[in-house]
Amino acid sequence: MISLFSYQLSYTELSLVLIVAICTGMSKTGVHGAGMLAVPLLANVFGGQLSSGIMLPMLVMADVMGVWYYHRHASWVHLRILFPWAALGVVLGTVVGKYIDDGLFRIIMAIIILISVVVMLWLERGHKKDVPHQKSFAIATGILGGFTSMVGNLAGTVMAVYLLSMRLPKNGFIGTTAWFFLVVNWFKVPFHVFSWHTITLNTFLFDLMTLPFIILGAYLGIIIVKKLSEKTYRWFIIIMTIIAAIFMLF
């Protein structure tokens, strides 16, 4: 066992945390789905709600890298609609999350992940044109995105469905997603600190230790987006995410 800032971890658990950091960095520079894989891996180490607080500082650090690289490509027309409704979703997620125990929290996270995988598979089968375009869909996306982001840092697929339906180009998609999560994740921090008490000084120091691996993941993400087939990697992430979600349920 290794003691790090009040956390007692086995070497296997520490390895999973570092893999999570790499996946988090990759998810912010265009490798969609890597972040969803990271969530159940971290939950299997720390439990549901606590893992949500531990992951948030990692996400905040990774968001800065994503915005730094893709900030010029964001679609602010869409972001201005999403932000206020996402804030409402975060508040709703904070209230709901205070009244569920860790076991139920893990089940909710697993269900969200599995539903997200189903949606990803549905989109893979050529149904992107079937996604609605009305403003009410943007409002619903904002609320659901904020809620799922607060409950389990799992809003990636929610945002992917909406932004894909807007027909944004690849860099526009990545840049808009990067700005959305930078703002929403910073907005979530006070709720984790003062309401859920899942972010402490020890949490921050522990997450700071993972920064080199987040940077490595961000760099790998840039390379993958440029060089490799995104479709092949996306299928790999879908399969690994299903396995991780099943482990979380049991």
The answer to whether position 57 is within a domain reads: yes
- CA distances for 165 relative to 124, 137, 220, angstroms: 13, 10, 27
What's the structural domain count of the chain?
1
The answer to whether position 4 is within a domain reads: no
DSSP letter, residue 4:
E
The answer to whether position 130 is within a domain reads: yes
- Its domain, for residue 186, covers 10-249
The answer to whether position 110 is within a domain reads: yes
Q: What is the pLDDT along the chain (250 residues), one digit of tens a residue?
A: 888 888 899 999 999 999 999 999 998 887 767 887 888 889 889 887 889 999 999 999 999 988 887 777 788 988 999 999 999 999 999 999 888 777 787 777 778 777 777 776 776 676 566 666 667 888 988 998 999 899 888 887 788 778 767 777 777 877 888 899 999 999 999 999 999 999 999 999 999 999 999 999 999 988 887 776 666 766 766 676 677 667 666 6
What would you report as the CA-atom Rg of the chain, rounded to the nearest whole angstrom? Answer: 17
Determine phi and psi for 2, rounding to 5 degrees: -120, 135
The answer to whether position 1 is within a domain reads: no
The answer to whether position 56 is within a domain reads: yes
CA angle 212, 213, 219 (to 5 degrees): 95
First to last CA, the chain: 24
The answer to whether position 140 is within a domain reads: yes
The answer to whether position 3 is within a domain reads: no
Residue range 73-129, pLDDT digits in tens: 788 988 999 999 999 999 999 999 888 777 787 777 778 777 777 776 776 676 566
Q: What is the pTM of this model?
A: 0.84
